[in-house]
Amino acid sequence: MRPAVLAPSPAAVRIAALLMATALGAGLSFGARAQAFDAVRLYGAAADRNGGTLGLAVVAGHAYMGSDERRTRAYPAIDYRWANGWFAGTTNGVGYNFSRQPGVQYGVRLTADFGRDESRSAVLRGLGDVDARPELGAFYNLQPTAHTFLTSSLRYGAGQGRDGLLIDVGAGLTAPVAPAWRMGAGVAATWANAAYTQSYFGVDAAQAARSGRSVYSASAGVRDVRVSVSATYAITQRASATAALSYSRLMGDAGGSPIVRDRAGVNGVLAVVYAF
């Protein structure tokens, strides 16, 4: 009798896409959980049934976006989706998917920007903290084929004035390469308005006086671009492990900020999750 061969379940497919999204934004300037909010990932989940995932992700990134100091943290990966369209979790936020069409998702959600502590690095000394804020947003995803996806989202409410706006777009693919293995790759970019860019990359007059830096005004533009690769192994039909690497590069006024020590960075994610 031939031994049974494990194949990634639909839940494992969704997990691979979700964890790749975490890798795409693993710059850690705003916390890995906040970076994962660049898109809603509901792939592989049946629209007419409840289901969720539970796990742990270890992210090796940087002290803040643009830092040259390494920082490694572990985060819970908990997400749940209800058959009526509601979803909630640490990677998707809390929201509602209006679509009942396979391969199309659109809706509204509530996420969080976790801010940035001045104590995170000596480079930030004198700039003060950027407080954590709730974000209101919307999303639209398209899955043209079983192995490709396009994502987009809008998030509003981050930054010192609660008026930071982010627009995220991304594309990726996942494909089986062996009975228990699935590979993934993706690209993504984030546009930020001036209020957001100034909060995280600018230096106003008061901050300049405290920190000794020159005043720096940061305007709206593409904040960063990211590419990633990932590999997911199906431990069982419900449990899987994913390893991912991402390369990100700051652009425009964000990249030219006086607090940026390295415009480009390589980050990693290792996660184990269980689908239920």
Task: Spell out the alpha helix ranges (H) of 142-204.
Answer: 194-201
Handedness of CA 59, 135, 130, 221 (dihedral sign): positive
What is the mean predicted confidence (pLDDT) over 41-70?
A: 84
- Global pTM value: 0.88
Specify if 5 maps to a domain: no
Is-contact 258 213, C-beta < 8 A? yes
pLDDT band at 102 (very low <50, low <70, confident <90, very high): confident
From 5-9, 59-63, 137-141, 269-273, the region with the lowest mean pLDDT = 5-9
Specify if 2 maps to a domain: no
What is the mean predicted confidence (pLDDT) over 30-44?
A: 62
For the chain, how many structural domains are there in total?
A: 1
What is the mean predicted confidence (pLDDT) over 255-267?
A: 95
Is-contact 38 25, C-beta < 8 A? yes
pLDDT of residue 32: 43
Segment (H or E) for 34:
helix 32-36
CATH number of the CATH domain containing 252:
2.40.160.40
Burial of residue 124 (CB within 10 Å: 0-12, 13-18, 19+) is buried
pLDDT of residue 36: 58
Residue 47 has pLDDT above 60, yes or no: yes
Specify if 4 maps to a domain: no
Specify if 3 maps to a domain: no
Q: What is the DSSP string of 200-231?
A: HH-B-HHHHHHH-PPPB---SEEEEEEEEEEE
From 3-17, 72-86, 116-130, 141-155, the region with the lowest mean pLDDT = 3-17
Cross-strand partners of 234: 240
Domain carrying residue 158:
10-275
Segment (H or E) for 13:
helix 10-24
Work out the percent of the chain whose per-residue pLDDT is above 70: 85
What 3-state class would DSSP assign to 140? Answer: strand
Specify if 61 maps to a domain: yes
Specify if 102 maps to a domain: yes
Kindly report the CA angle at 59 between 157 and 194, in degrees rounded to 5?
25
Specify if 175 maps to a domain: yes
pLDDT band at 4 (very low <50, low <70, confident <90, very high): very low
